[in-house]
Amino acid sequence: MEHDDLITRRQALAQVALLLGGAISAPTLTGALDAATRHAWAAAPGWAPRTLSDSQLELVAVMAEHIVPQTDTPGARAAGVHRFVDALLSDHYPSPERDRFLAGLADVDARARSRYGKTLVECTADQQVALLTELDEAAYPAVQVDSPRPPETWFFRRMKELTLVGYYTSQVGATEELHPSPFGAYRGDIPYSSVGRAWS
Amino acid sequence: MITYDAIVVGSGITGGWAAKELTEKGLRTLMIERGRDVVHRKDYITEHKPSWELPLRDARLSVGTKGAEDYPIQARTGQFRESNKHFFIKDSKNPYVEDKPFTWIQGDQVGGKSLIWGRQVYRWSDLDFEANLRDGHGVDWPIRYADIAPWYSYVERFIGVSGEKLGLAQLPDGEFQPPMEMNAGEKLVKTGVERAFPGRHVTIGRVAILTQPLNGRQPCHYCGPCERGCSTGSYFSTQASTLPAARATQRLTVLPNSIVHSLIYDAGKNRVTGVRVVDAVTKQFREYHARVVFLCASTLATTRLLLNSTSPRFPHGLANSSGVLGHYLMDHHFQAGAGGSIEGLLDHYYQGNRPNGIYIPRFRNVGDDASRRSDYVRGFGYQGGASRQGWGRGGGERGFGVELKRTLHDPGQWSMGMTGFGECLPREDNYVELSDQKDEFGIPLLKIHCTWGDNELAMRKDMAASAAEMLEAAGCKNVRTHDAYRGSGQLGAEPGFAIHEMGTARMGRDPKTSVLNGYNQAHDVPNLFVTDGACMASSSCVNPSITYMALTARACDHAVEELKRGNL
């Protein structure tokens, strides 16, 4: 019932905005309405991972934050990318793909142990970056070759893709780092300098 | 016994139109829908929901993923997502049998696929209506463009179509609202293509989306994902357009959750007298009666219903004295085209999620010697668009961290892509039949036999090559062709995938070789009309829905006149 009410109110507001002819933006609307939802996703009290262990969750959060770090806007950890990854693994991935991803996490820690004698999370930031740089270079060879990519490169590509999806579709990524295209008119050709950042 | 003046089976694009026309002409009409009710606005449960409120961030639910378990067919399409899966049929409860892959995408609700359709609307021309006669494939259409042109206008004025007039014989202009705008990349390609290839045109898609208010519906606000439902009624759907009109007459009864099992035929009168309906919830049978019946259940559902309506007079399906019922199944073949990048234009951008792309009208085999192909008959059009790359490009390139985040703050380079939509020839060996298996309601499952023929496969080569040629001529870089077809029997651009399935109860002049006459009226049974895609005798290459709408409105007009004359 609450769910229905929320939808109805949002749609009512959207209609009003349209009737007024204003190009009110989606984040303005949702910001006014969905504080509860936002908090629920970002840091719900009692939230717990359903597929990842606590240490796997932290490993994902650490890697994600290296991929999209905090700058003048929040990074992947603040955007809850690790929670999104747990949701995907729990509710979307077929079991073989989920297991492959978990094996990829284990492989990262195995590399960290053999190199530095500790898990990636326990490594210094410089050590973490050095390891992730290796994985990145292996996953995206400078020279394209026709032979199939080595299987271990699957994980880092996937981790990077999930981080980008999780970040740029989060409220932080979609409305603070980038911005959603406002509802209203369509303008087919505007100067990029007039908006200054990509639409999310 | 419950009796109406008219029964309409189905509530999608054509069912809604039939209900509107018949009720407005004074008939008490029962519209029967297999699926659940969907109430305009209230049941658009994901409309305007921001990405972060969708737990999977609107993931595409592909085959094999969790969430798609009950939808192994629907999940083949890229359109099937977390945000709209509730508007697709549950395959696990509605199975069919594929001889070779045929992807049957279906709605299962009041409004049918009108809630999730592609909204592209193009008139047929006499190039299309005369095609069968000229090259001998299929039977001649019993109508010509002049018969349907006023009905196209009638429909366009009611549903609202935005687009650009071009004055082309092969793609007649309609009653258009102002067109949507092209973006800078598309304008560049348009200029290049039209300079290099006189006679070819790049235009904005003609689309059943408002750019001006119409009948209380608001113009598009460019939120993007139409298929979640539109509370402002900006695109044509049953809920936004035809259903309110039909309801306003107070002569409409809508019956959701009701599966029509078969039609009731009275051999003495040679009339259908009603329908047998199974309640989807209680599984109890009921009968409803009427003076005239319109089948608008969607191409294959309509034909399945006719095949399942047997009697001593029609042992192989109602109105099937010709034996062609179920045959001459068609779809458009697509996903063959090209893409490339556009250099420069980096200070050009766009605002708003335009639910529309560009269109390149057919330019092959259009009647003159210059356009004639020796390797195939008929033709194709292109749909496509240009855009700047978004943040997703970061997943395909080396690099992470502050530098990656800074790069993705700006949009990437421009790219342009297009895919052809090609005409499919009507062939007898593309057909559907009833299988030995039955669904939970005791209705035999449909078994579908359909493959592409040599003509389609030859055309696809040109669809890819000509797209690349035009992009190169327009100055695009890194131009690559694509063709998703993987061979007969494989998934990949398989028949059905364009969701333009049509034919199987075709119109024609001769009752011996066709099911319906020039008014979509069964040759064999005068008070039975079929006005969905099943009626089509050929496929053209343009998106078919507006032609179904125009044929429906025209058939309703004829049916009511015939009722008044006492002929039905």
pLDDT tens digits, A84-94: 999 999 999 99
- Residue B208 φ/ψ, nearest 5 degrees: -80, 55
Check CB contact under 8 Å for A26 and B353. Answer: no
Reported as a single tens digit per residue, the pLDDT across B31-59 is 999 999 999 999 999 999 999 999 999 99
**For all residues of chain A together, what is the average pLDDT?**
82
Confidence band of B332 (pLDDT split at 50, 70, 90): very high
CA A191 to chain CA centroid, Å, is 29
Instruction: State yes or no: pLDDT of A147 exceeds 90.
Output: no
Q: CA torsion sign, A158 to A163 to A166 to A169?
A: negative
Distances in whole angstroms, Cα of residue B144 to Cα of each of B133, B406, B538 = 11, 59, 13
**What is the pairing mode between strands B203-204 and B358-360?**
antiparallel
Mean pLDDT of A60-87: 98
Residues in chain A within 8 Å Cβ distance of B349: 190-192, 194-195
- Residue A135 φ/ψ, nearest 5 degrees: -60, -40
Among the partner-chain residues B232, B353, B390, the one whose CB lies closest to the CB of A198 is B390
CA B375 to chain CA centroid, Å, is 28
Instruction: State yes or no: pLDDT of B100 exceeds 80.
Output: yes
Check CB contact under 8 Å for B52 and A188. Answer: no
Eight-state DSSP code of residue B179: P
Among the partner-chain residues A170, A189, A191, the one whose CB lies closest to the CB of B183 is A189
| Segment among A128-142, A149-163, B199-213, B389-403 with least mean pLDDT | A149-163
Residues in chain A within 8 Å Cβ distance of B347: 191-193
pLDDT of residue A140: 93
Structure tokens at B143: 């109508």
pLDDT of residue B373: 98
List the beta bridge partners of residue B262. Answer: B276
Residue whose pair of structure tokens reads 């979609």 in the numeric block: A174
Instruction: State yes or no: pLDDT of B296 exceeds 80.
Output: yes
Q: 3-class DSSP state for residue A165?
A: helix
Instruction: State yes or no: pLDDT of A41 exceeds 90.
Output: no
Instruction: State yes or no: pLDDT of A3 exceeds 80.
Output: no
Instruction: State yes or no: pLDDT of B478 exceeds 60.
Output: yes
Eight-state DSSP code of residue B74: G
Residues in chain B within 8 Å Cβ distance of A170: 51-52
Structure tokens at B336: 């063959």
Residue whose pair of structure tokens reads 């298929």 in the numeric block: B227
Mean pLDDT of B364-386: 97
Residues 209-228 of B with CB under 8 A from A: 218, 220-224
A56 Cβ under 8 Å from any chain B Cβ: no
Among candidate residues A74, A87, A83, A89, the one with its CA nearest the CA of residue A42 = A83
A33 Cβ under 8 Å from any chain B Cβ: no
Among the partner-chain residues B180, B231, B353, the one whose CB lies closest to the CB of A11 is B231
pLDDT of residue A9: 35
pLDDT of residue A179: 96
How many residues make up chain B in this entry?
568
**What is the pairing mode between strands B431-438 and B444-449?**
antiparallel
- Residue B385 φ/ψ, nearest 5 degrees: 175, 165
Mean pLDDT of B281-287: 97
Residues in chain A within 8 Å Cβ distance of B348: 189-192
Q: 3-class DSSP state for residue B141?
A: coil
Distances in whole angstroms, Cα of residue B342 to Cα of each of B192, B281, B393, B412 = 12, 55, 15, 11
**For all residues of chain B together, what is the average pLDDT?**
98
pLDDT of residue A145: 66
Helix (H) or strand (E) holding A32: helix A26-33
Among the partner-chain residues B50, B56, B183, the one whose CB lies closest to the CB of A26 is B50
- How far is B434 from B237, CA to CA, in rounded Å? 31
Reported as a single tens digit per residue, the pLDDT across A97-146 is 999 999 999 999 999 999 999 999 999 999 999 999 999 999 998 876 66
CB B497 within 8 A of CB B503: no
Count helices and strands in chain A by DSSP H and E runs: 10, 1
Mean pLDDT of B335-361: 98
Confidence band of A13 (pLDDT split at 50, 70, 90): very low
Instruction: State yes or no: pLDDT of B274 exceeds 60.
Output: yes
Which of B296 and A7 is assigned the larger pLDDT? B296
- How far is B521 from B343, CA to CA, in rounded Å? 55
The contacts of residue B565 (CB under 8 Å, 6+ apart) are none
CA angle B377-B381-B383, nearest 5°? 155
Nearest CA in chain A to B399: A136
- How far is B109 from B69, CA to CA, in rounded Å? 20
Among the partner-chain residues A29, A69, A187, the one whose CB lies closest to the CB of B351 is A187
- How far is B140 from B156, CA to CA, in rounded Å? 26
Structure tokens at B376: 């195939």
Residues in chain B within 8 Å Cβ distance of A185: 222, 351-352
- How far is B251 from B4, CA to CA, in rounded Å? 10
pLDDT of residue A46: 85
Instruction: State yes or no: pLDDT of A15 exceeds 90.
Output: no
B480 Cβ under 8 Å from any chain A Cβ: no
Residue of B218, B230, B405, B480 to mutate, interface with A, max A Cβ within 10 Å: B405
Among the partner-chain residues B65, B232, B346, the one whose CB lies closest to the CB of A192 is B346
Among the partner-chain residues B41, B58, B221, the one whose CB lies closest to the CB of A183 is B221
- Residue B403 φ/ψ, nearest 5 degrees: -65, -45
Residue of B65, B230, B351, B353 to mutate, interface with A, max A Cβ within 10 Å: B351
CB B113 within 8 A of CB B104: no
Nearest CA in chain B to A7: B45
Confidence band of B1 (pLDDT split at 50, 70, 90): low
B183 Cβ under 8 Å from any chain A Cβ: yes
**What is the pairing mode between strands B97-98 and B414-422?**
unpaired
Among the partner-chain residues A15, A92, A129, the one whose CB lies closest to the CB of B67 is A92
pLDDT of residue A27: 34
Check CB contact under 8 Å for B222 and A200. Answer: no
The contacts of residue B346 (CB under 8 Å, 6+ apart) are A192, B413
Residues 61-90 of B with CB under 8 A from A: 61, 64-67
CB B77 within 8 A of CB B105: yes
Residue type, B210: L
Q: How far is B219 from chain A (nearest CA, A)?
A: 9
Check CB contact under 8 Å for A164 and B391. Answer: yes
Instruction: State yes or no: pLDDT of A44 exceeds 90.
Output: no
Check CB contact under 8 Å for B218 and A66. Answer: no
Mean pLDDT of B532-547: 98
Instruction: State yes or no: pLDDT of A16 exceeds 70.
Output: no
Reported as a single tens digit per residue, the pLDDT across B176-227 is 999 999 999 999 999 999 999 999 999 999 999 999 999 999 999 999 999 9
CA dihedral A62, A63, A67, A72 (to 10 degrees): 0
Q: Exposure string (b/e) for A146-185, b if CB count within 10 Å is 16 or more?
A: eeeeeeebbbbbbbbebbbbbbbbbbbbbbbbbbbbbbbe
Distances in whole angstroms, Cα of residue B484 to Cα of each of B65, B100, B107, B326, B481 = 21, 16, 25, 27, 10
- How far is B48 from A14, CA to CA, in rounded Å? 9
- How far is B444 from B437, CA to CA, in rounded Å? 6
| Segment among A34-38, B179-183, B278-282, B473-477 with least mean pLDDT | A34-38
pLDDT of residue A43: 62
Query: First CA to last CA across chain A, in angstroms?
Result: 30
Helix (H) or strand (E) holding B19: helix B13-24
Confidence band of A19 (pLDDT split at 50, 70, 90): very low
Residues 82-121 of A with CB under 8 A from B: 84, 87-88, 91-94
Nearest CA in chain B to A16: B232
Residue of B46, B183, B400, B406 to mutate, interface with A, max A Cβ within 10 Å: B400
Chain A to chain B Cβ contacts (< 8 Å): 189
| Segment among A31-45, B75-89, B114-128 with least mean pLDDT | A31-45
Regarding an ipTM greater than 0.90, the answer is: yes
Residues in chain A within 8 Å Cβ distance of B41: 11
Among candidate residues B108, B120, B65, the one with its CA nearest the CA of residue B84 = B108
Each as own residue / partner, the long-range contacts of residues B436-441 (CB below 8 Å, 24 or more positions apart, any chain) are B437/B95, B437/B97, B439/B93, B439/B94, B439/B95, B440/B93, B440/B283, B441/B259, B441/B261, B441/B278, B441/B280, B441/B283
The contacts of residue A27 (CB under 8 Å, 6+ apart) are A171, A174, A175, A179, A180, B50
- How far is A99 from B520, CA to CA, in rounded Å? 55
Among the partner-chain residues A88, A168, A187, the one whose CB lies closest to the CB of B56 is A88
Q: How far is A26 from chain B (nearest CA, A)?
A: 8
Check CB contact under 8 Å for A192 and B57. Answer: no
Check CB contact under 8 Å for A192 and B187. Answer: no
- How far is B303 from B504, CA to CA, in rounded Å? 7
Distances in whole angstroms, Cα of residue B409 to Cα of each of A168, A185, B214 = 10, 23, 39
Q: How far is B399 from chain A (nearest CA, A)?
A: 7
CB A6 within 8 A of CB B17: no
Q: Exposure string (b/e) for B485-503, b if CB count within 10 Å is 16 or more?
A: beeeeeeebbbbbbbbbbb
B350 Cβ under 8 Å from any chain A Cβ: yes
B266 Cβ under 8 Å from any chain A Cβ: no
B169 Cβ under 8 Å from any chain A Cβ: no
